[in-house]
A and B are shown apart, each in its own frame.
Chain A
Amino acid sequence: MRDWPRLRRVFRLPTTGRRVRAAVDDELRFHIDGRIDELMAQGMSRTEAELEARTRFGDYQRIEAEVSRLDQYSHRRRTMADRFEALLFDLRYSVRSLARQPMFSIIVVVTLTLGVAATTAIYHAIDRVVLHPLPYPNPDRIVYLGWQWRMGSGAGALSARRFEFWHDHGHVYDGLATTSAFEVALGDDQAAAVLHGSRITADFFHVLGAAPAIGRAFSADEFELGGPDVVILSDAVWRARFGAERGIIGREIRLDAKPYKVIGIMPATFEIAEQTEWADVFAPLRFTPTDLADGGNNYMVIGRLKPAVTEAQIQSDNDVVFQQYRETYPDAVRSEDQGVRVMTHQSLFLGDLGTALWIMLGATGFVLLLAIANVANLVLGRALNRQREFAVRTALGAGRGRLARQVVLDMIVLGAVSAVLSTAMGLMSVRGIVALASGGLLRESQLRLDPRVVVYTTLVTLAASLVIGTAVALSATRLNLSRALAEGGRTGSPSRGQRRLRGALVSLESAIAMLLLAGAGLLISSFARVLSVDPGFAREGVFTATIPHAPPGYDSASAIRQFDRRLLDELRATPGIMVAATTKTLPLERGWNVPMTVEGREDATEGGMEWRTVSPGYFDALGVKLLGGRDIKPSDDESAPLVVVISQSFAKRYWPNENPIGRRIFIGRFHGKPGGPRFAEGAREIIGIVPDLRDMSLEQRMPRHTAWVPRAQMQPAMASLPQIVVRATDAGVAATAIRRAVRAVDPRTPSPEISTMNDLVSRSVAQRRFGMVLMSIFALLALVLTCVGIYGVVTYLAAQRVHEIGIRMALGAQQRSVVGLVVRQGMRPALVGLAIGFVMALGLSRLIAGMLYGIGPRDPVSLGIVAVVLTGVAFVASYVPARRASRVDPLTALRME
């Protein structure tokens, strides 16, 4: 046997340094004593013999020290080698024994993997989205400016004039910038790919802490009106379209068939976290006098604070600037205006998403806990079934430590496999989260592979494995040797303590499942309620189309009017298209917000009225019935008197007790004063009233005052190519008809993007769906894990009682009563857990109150359904093994002992 001499050595070798020295001393002394005896036998006196022996031996101290050092070194080396070899042996043993029980191993690995992968994915998302969302240097100094109307309520975008004023007068900012998105076609070919561009103000790159990697940023004169046409390209476009050629700097490229000089390339790492579209082209944003005079609030402002600026300083600076603004433009400030509100990334962009992610992390934490509980249960069961094996090994001399180590090793082997799998799965589910969040909640770049994820997953898995392994090892290796051997390998009935432990496990699992299911139930119910909200317009049979970007030549209102008319003629002539209309703003899309004054009543004025331009047939296409007056007609064209259709709440607000039809309003005027040339127009006569639509968001609580203007009469400065709404027999017909019609009107037009109205609705609830789907996935995981847990425990307990069941059946017990006996064993702790989970859910559901819609956090229907589902699942999980146990043949069961 190969290991034999080494094992012998293990027993023989002294284990401590002192014993090593003692052995060396014995050996050397034996030598000297032997010599003395020999010399005395030759006739020397004892003293002479001793002296002579010592002389011949040499320096005793030195030799003893040298030999001892040698021995200690080799002793240590051997102990290490022995330990390592034993560890390898145990490891091989673990792998072999786990491979012999593939079902057990697979279930443990899958369970652990699911638990860990879920937390990994959510932790990763939180890390990138909440903890480190901004890819800029010193992100804590980045702020966003919004306009505040009333104390406490939300803030809106700024007008160009307000932006400039704060930019020029604010003292706490290192820079303030804003952007405006645009789209251009690369080259002269209009069908070519469209690039997304961003016009930026002078401070923009400075605020973001970025600079072109090649070339230069825009110079001051390039921001002047009428300055040169210059662009900076993104790294991606530079590589994809210009072959990463450095010579492009200083050369001209053609965008929308016009020449632009390329002056810089941004680094590959540059991204604008606040925009969901990648910007490929940057151009200077130059405000025209029209832009500056216009009161429309359409600019999001980003700023970088000077270092070490306090909240109080920001507030007092804003008060000062607001006062200056009020004095400079007394007509542009309303009584409810509060000035600028400075917001952090967290408060502006994350609000609900951040909370949602933290709640999801909590949920995954529970899923992980469930997974650990299940695995602990399985591993404990296996360890108890191995008591005979352990007993034999103990009898052969293995210590409790060695056995415990074996159990822990088993767990570590399984944990290592899970770590690999859950890393892979975590990364894949991160992709799933991106896909789920297609509403633009998360950017792909926020969820790229990160080495920290691998470390996190590995640590969590191994920690979980160690905890489980150690806990099981401690309880399973405390065995009574003689009893375990005498029982011939059967473990007998589990002790009361063990049975109670398993019951507690089932209770814990049911409680967690109840909690997560309650959360999912409330979110699903809210989601269903949001979807079933009546927005006031039809969803079925309505199709929309967006023209990605206008070919050149459509910069005059007359050209656009012409396009509209020909497009509608084409569409209306197509069979299968029942109604066709055009609009500037599709439902559930962000629209324009403009001031308004009622003619002759300068006090009856509004700062932010929703403004839309639509063609005749728009309300018909959306299935909206007029409440009074008439619809927009083709005859309401540029040469006809100006007209407008208003929403019901608008009518009630300004004409509570009279008929508004025939009254007139000034769009773009505030307290009767014109805001700017953009809306320089006369009064419009109200011709019709339509019901309030939830056309900004399904969850929109307050009706907004909205005015619809005929597209043929739209303000020239606001003219743009239309979006299309049709009512058609089916999506295929609509898509073909729209594409054909657009091509027929102008073949240079890029192919329109077609969506059904349901697509638009679905996109508008993306964030809600995100939360609901994630929570449901975790709740489902919890349900499955709990089911497996109950099943496992009941199966185990039933197997332990096979003997007893045999006796009962031999004595004439009915199969039904046996089933009942076993089922009760699983159901009792499950119901206890369910009750605990119910109480916990009542307490914790407040956390997701903000994510609910139309129901309270203690909605009895949702919670009730969830409790029933969970009870049913627990029953099935107990019934299946109970039924199997009751089918046991009494004779076999009795013979087994």
Chain B
Amino acid sequence: MPSGSDLDLLRGTLDLLVLKALSWGPMHGLATLQWIERTTKQRLQIEEGALYPALHRMEEKGWLDAEWGHTEAGRRAKFYRLTTVGRRQLTIELSKWERYSEAVALLIMAKGA
């Protein structure tokens, strides 16, 4: 992990971030990462390489579909797309995350009181 990140990425959260990113449309790996950076205003620092095992694992699970295509600049890149299964998985991950963060929020409030 590069130092200086505001938040260490929670294990398993990367899947949620990638699914969420791809829910906007097919993207290649780098674009997915850039979307996450942009959206979180650089607050989430990801070890970039770790993105790829996650992408391939999700492809194997059938959440993502991959296809080689060309970028606007004409370079060959591998694009990932959310499958129906992936979309369903995103909903599951989101509700899981909500439950988790609610619990953490409750905990913090209880401590502060």
Question: A residues engaging B (CB < 8 A)?
Answer: 5, 12, 23-24, 26-28, 30-31, 33-35, 38, 55-60, 62-63, 66-67, 70-71, 73-74
Contacts and interface: CB of A to CB of B under 8 A. Distances in A.
15 contacts: A24-B52, A28-B52, A30-B28, A30-B29, A31-B29, A31-B52, A34-B30, A57-B47, A59-B49, A60-B49, A63-B49, A63-B53, A67-B52, A67-B56, A74-B59
Contact of A70 (B30, B33, B50, B60): B60
B15 interface: no
A777 to B, nearest CB: 60
B2 interface: yes
Nearest to A53: B48
B75 interface: yes
Closest 3 CB pairs of A and B: A58-B49, A63-B49, A74-B60
Interface in B21-37: 28-30, 33-34
B30 A66 contact: no
Contacts of A70: 53, 56-57, 60
A33 B78 CA distance: 14
B69 to A, nearest CB: 11
A6 to B, nearest CB: 11
A27 B78 contact: yes
Contacts of A71: 56
A62 B29 CA distance: 17
A26 B78 CA distance: 9
A796 to B, nearest CB: 50
Contacts of B53: 63, 66-67, 70
A23 to B, nearest CB: 8
A57 B48 contact: yes
A56 B45 CA distance: 9
Contacts of A12: 67-68
B65 interface: yes
A63 B50 contact: yes
Contacts of A74: 56, 59-60
B67 A30 contact: no
Nearest to A34: B30
A534 B76 CA distance: 101
B77 interface: yes
Given A35-B30, A55-B2, A67-B56, A30 B75 contact: yes
Contacts, number: 62
A30 B56 contact: no
Give chain A's interface secondary structure class.
helix
Interface string B62-104: 0001011000000111100000000000000000000000000
A58 B59 CA distance: 22
A56 B75 contact: no
A22 B60 CA distance: 18
Contacts of B78: 23, 26-27, 30
Contacts of B29: 27, 30-31
Given A27-B77, A66-B53, A67-B52, A5 B60 contact: no
Contacts of B56: 67, 70-71, 74
B33 to A, nearest CB: 8
A55 B34 CA distance: 16
A26 to B, nearest CB: 7
A57 B49 contact: yes
B22 to A, nearest CB: 15
Nearest to A56: B48
Given A24-B52, A56-B48, A70-B53, 13 more contacts: A27-B29, A28-B49, A30-B29, A31-B28, A31-B33, A57-B49, A58-B49, A58-B50, A60-B49, A62-B49, A63-B49, A70-B60, A71-B56
Nearest to B57: A70
Contacts of B59: 74
Nearest to A37: B73
A35 B53 CA distance: 18
Nearest to A71: B56
B25 to A, nearest CB: 18
Given A35-B30, A74-B60, A30 B76 contact: yes
Contacts of A30: 28-30, 75-78
Chain A CB count within 10 A is highest, among B34, B56, B59, for B56
A31 B65 contact: no
Nearest to B28: A30
Contacts of B28: 30-31
Contacts of A55: 2
A24 B59 CA distance: 13
Nearest to B83: A5
Nearest to B1: A58
Given A66-B53, A70-B57, A74-B60, A31 B76 contact: no
Contacts of B48: 31, 35, 56-58
A34 B37 CA distance: 15
Contacts of B60: 70, 73-74
A74 B56 CA distance: 9
A435 B75 CA distance: 84
Nearest to B60: A74
Chain B CB count within 10 A is highest, among A35, A56, A62, for A56
Contacts of A34: 30
Contacts of A60: 49
A311 to B, nearest CB: 72
Contacts of B67: 12
A23 B76 CA distance: 11
A27 B53 CA distance: 12
B68 A58 contact: no
Nearest to B51: A31
A30 B78 CA distance: 9
Contacts of B49: 28, 57-60, 62-63
A554 B6 CA distance: 118
Nearest to B46: A56
A545 B57 CA distance: 89
Nearest to A78: B60
A31 B30 contact: yes
Chain B CB count within 10 A is highest, among A28, A31, A62, for A31
B30 A26 contact: no
Contacts of B50: 58, 63
Nearest to B65: A5
B38 to A, nearest CB: 12
A480 B67 CA distance: 37
A259 to B, nearest CB: 84
Contacts of B34: 38
Contact of B52 (A27, A33, A56): A27
B47 A58 contact: yes
B29 to A, nearest CB: 5
A31 B30 CA distance: 5
Contacts of B52: 24, 27-28, 31, 63, 67
Contacts of B76: 26, 30
Contacts of A66: 53
Nearest to A31: B30
Contacts of A23: 78
A31 B50 CA distance: 12
Contacts of B57: 70
A459 B65 CA distance: 45
Chain A CB count within 10 A is highest, among B29, B52, B67, B76, for B52
Contacts of A56: 2, 47-48
A26 B30 CA distance: 13
A53 to B, nearest CB: 8
Contacts of A63: 49-50, 52-53
A27 B29 CA distance: 8
Contacts of A31: 28-30, 33, 48, 52
A35 B78 CA distance: 16
A180 B55 CA distance: 88
A110 B29 CA distance: 62
A12 B78 CA distance: 12
A10 to B, nearest CB: 14
A31 B32 CA distance: 11
A71 B57 CA distance: 8
A24 B68 CA distance: 12
